[in-house]
Chains A and B, each alone.
Chain A
Amino acid sequence: MALAAIAVGQWALLFTQGLMRGYGDGIQNAITGPMVGHLQLHAKGYEDERAMDLVLTDVTEGIRELRARPGVRDVAPRIYAPVLIAPERKAFMATVVGVDLPSESQPFGLLAEQGAPLKPRHVLIGYRLARTAGLAAGQEIAVVGQAADGSLANDLYTVQGIIKGPVDLVNRLGVVMDLADAQELFVLPDQAHELVVRMEGLAQVAALSRELHANCPFEGVEIRTWREIVPELTTIIDLTGKVGYFILSLVLVAAVAGTANTLMMATYERMHEFGMLLALGCSPGRVVRMILMEATMLAAVGVAVGTALGWGFVAVTSRTGIDMSSWGGEHVSDLAYAGMRLPLLVYPRVTVLDPIVGLIAVVLVSLLAAAWPAWIAGRLDPMEAMRA
């Protein structure tokens, strides 16, 4: 009984920890991956005003300098512009996203896994926009917007493909084109609205942010980390960590109840034997140690079985992923927040520390639960115990 309770508890702990961590990872990747990156640079005021002419200038040189900083994996310049696109007379609202093709084609880039490289004067269309506007590859579309100098930007482009990516903005409104094309269309020579910095690791983000605040290749620039850009989502990530502790406390309750019960029963049932042992000259301390040892063994075996089950489960699902969208109907896969599609295919992940935390906690609690019967056994009067 107790063994089963502990095993199931440990399994549940590993599974939920894994699921939560996997979910946190998913959100983390959704944030720091394609859309937001680890750090972003904008011209001062751009985030509020979103004016076409609030740009970072001389970006080629600035990017070169940023890429040379320690810990920086890549820097991706982007241009955003609200436009109308028209395959024929009928026009649709869209957003041009001008991107640096080599940067965005890397893993975690906007165009990762998008196949053939984008040709000049060609665009990729978000699948939802394509559906609305009835677009297919090979079609020619007019793109009309306002250039940075206030003039009317308009040109024709060929649809190279339809994309379905991790970024909701792109799926819903995106007209993705080469940065050079966007710079020409919107009169933004060597300029960009946004630089997305991707780091080697999360640990280096704060350091680079501090360093850039002190010394940045761009003037009049706003530097924000991913935590500052989407604080709501970082809260979710932090929360998923805490949910693990909640589950842990449930496991402990199960362990306490199960272990305490079993040990109590086992001890009372064997009062006779303990009396005999004591009568044969066994010291009370030894009896206490024996009972405690039993409790520890029970806990350890329970945890081992639970860990094996939990680990196995996570190992399997971390490869296949758990598709949470299948629980929520067809359109849940479009679920998005802050312009990002939230991940619904979760890959659970556990760390070596997870079962150890469970082990230590369960053993401690089992010992605590065994203390009461052990204490009684230690104080038994051998004569009375044998008579019982």
Chain B
Amino acid sequence: MKSMLASLLVLAVALAAPAAEPPATLLKADGSLDVEKVVRHFENLYRSDTSVALMRLTVVRPRRERTLRMKSWTQGEDRALIQILDPPREKGTATLKVEKNLWNYLPRIRRTIRIPPSMMLSPWMGSDFTNDDLVRESSYSEDYDYELAGKSTEPEGWLVRFKAKPGVVGLWSRFDLVVSLDGQLPLVSNWYNRKGKLSRTLTWDLVRVLDKKHLPTRMTLVPVDRKEQGYKTTMVYEAIDFDVELPPGTFSLSRLERQH
């Protein structure tokens, strides 16, 4: 699967596409999930067009909770710009992603900083998402072997198993994804690290209609080893527009450094 936050950023785009086309069934004639179709479905959706979204990121920590409101612009899978709107102390702080590069703009000191590779596994904006989540470019079929493992009962849906192909460098050895019975919506995914240990869980819920599409508007990421301590990050989409015309240069450093 695409990295999680990248998926997160383009999730709406991804999920919206089936509705844009005639709702092609993702099931086989015998009623089971056509896993090839589902995977291609998700993959191609990342290459779909643009989106502009308003989101709320809530980071829960043992002794505090913090909510950021942000606006994002995305184009395909390679370009994204996320800007913090609130709280005031961080207003204007922005992250620009172009392919594998990541920059943070800090309005207080009017500086742009490129995130070095050594910091890719560090938290993004203090959340449970890592910088790596924003930039990783991997796709289901390129990096993972997958198979339909059958039906899942909790939650109810289809269980698809993804296993990293030999030689693929990354954090994850495998992940399990549960998709809805019609194959259209992701429900939950469990991510296993290179030692095969369950490391984090990503849940999608609160399905709403945004820009005429049915979308799970909330994603919750829980790092398993810190679950007990109460670590959690949720991202809620408040509004989203698809296929918006974005001015050229939206994803440029000069635009990043301009006051938005």
Q: Spell out A's residues near B (CB within 8 Å).
A: 51, 53, 82, 84, 86, 89-93, 142, 144, 146, 149-152, 154-156
Contacts and interface: CB of A to CB of B under 8 A. Distances in A.
Contact of A93 (B93, B106, B109, B119): B119
Contacts of B115: 84, 91
B58 to A, nearest CB: 11
Contacts of B123: 146
B153 interface: no
A149 B119 contact: no
Nearest to B63: A53
25 contacts: A51-B62, A84-B113, A84-B119, A86-B111, A86-B114, A90-B113, A90-B114, A90-B116, A91-B115, A93-B118, A142-B106, A144-B104, A144-B113, A149-B66, A150-B59, A151-B87, A151-B89, A151-B126, A152-B89, A152-B106, A152-B126, A154-B109, A154-B111, A155-B109, A156-B111
Contacts of B118: 93
Given A53-B64, A146-B123, A150-B126, 20 more contacts: A53-B61, A86-B114, A91-B115, A91-B116, A93-B118, A142-B109, A142-B111, A144-B113, A149-B64, A151-B66, A151-B87, A152-B90, A152-B93, A152-B106, A152-B125, A154-B106, A154-B108, A154-B109, A155-B108, A156-B111
A233 B204 CA distance: 50
Nearest to A142: B111
B203 interface: no
A151 B68 CA distance: 9
B7 interface: no
Contact of B106 (A90, A92, A144, A149): A144
A84 B111 CA distance: 12
B129 to A, nearest CB: 14
Nearest to A92: B116
Interface of B: 59, 61-64, 66, 87, 89-90, 93, 103-104, 106, 108-109, 111-116, 118-119, 122-123, 125-126
A158 to B, nearest CB: 13
Contacts of A93: 116, 118-119
Contacts of A146: 123, 126
A35 to B, nearest CB: 24
Contacts of A144: 104, 106, 113
Contacts of A53: 61, 63-64
A150 B109 contact: no
A152 B106 CA distance: 9
Most buried by B among A92, A150, A151, A156: A150
Contacts of A150: 59, 61, 64, 66, 126
Contacts of A92: 116
Contact of B113 (A51, A82, A86, A151): A86
A81 to B, nearest CB: 12
Most buried by A among B66, B106, B125: B106
Contacts of A90: 113-114, 116
A89 B106 CA distance: 11
Nearest to B114: A89
Contacts of B113: 84, 86, 89-91, 142, 144
Contact of B112 (A82, A89, A151): A89
A154 B126 CA distance: 13
Nearest to B122: A82
A158 B111 CA distance: 15
A91 B106 contact: no
Contacts of A82: 122
A83 to B, nearest CB: 10
Contacts of A86: 111, 113-114
A82 B116 CA distance: 14
Contacts of A51: 61-62
The 10 A-B residue pairs with the shortest CB-CB distance, nearest first, are: A150-B66, A142-B111, A91-B113, A86-B113, A154-B106, A146-B126, A150-B126, A156-B109, A89-B114, A152-B90
A151 B125 CA distance: 8
A8 B123 CA distance: 62
Given A150-B61, A151-B89, A151-B90, A91 B114 contact: yes
Nearest to B104: A144
A233 to B, nearest CB: 28
Nearest to A90: B114
Nearest to B106: A154
A156 B66 CA distance: 25
A175 to B, nearest CB: 15
A92 B126 CA distance: 18
B188 to A, nearest CB: 26
A328 B206 CA distance: 64
A93 B117 CA distance: 10
Nearest to B112: A89
A152 B118 CA distance: 19
B69 to A, nearest CB: 14
A53 B109 CA distance: 24
Contacts of B93: 152
Contacts of B119: 84, 91, 93
B112 A84 contact: no
Nearest to A187: B89
Given A150-B66, A152-B125, A154-B109, A84 B116 contact: yes
A149 B126 CA distance: 10
Contacts of B63: 53
Contacts of B62: 51
B116 to A, nearest CB: 5
Contacts of B87: 151
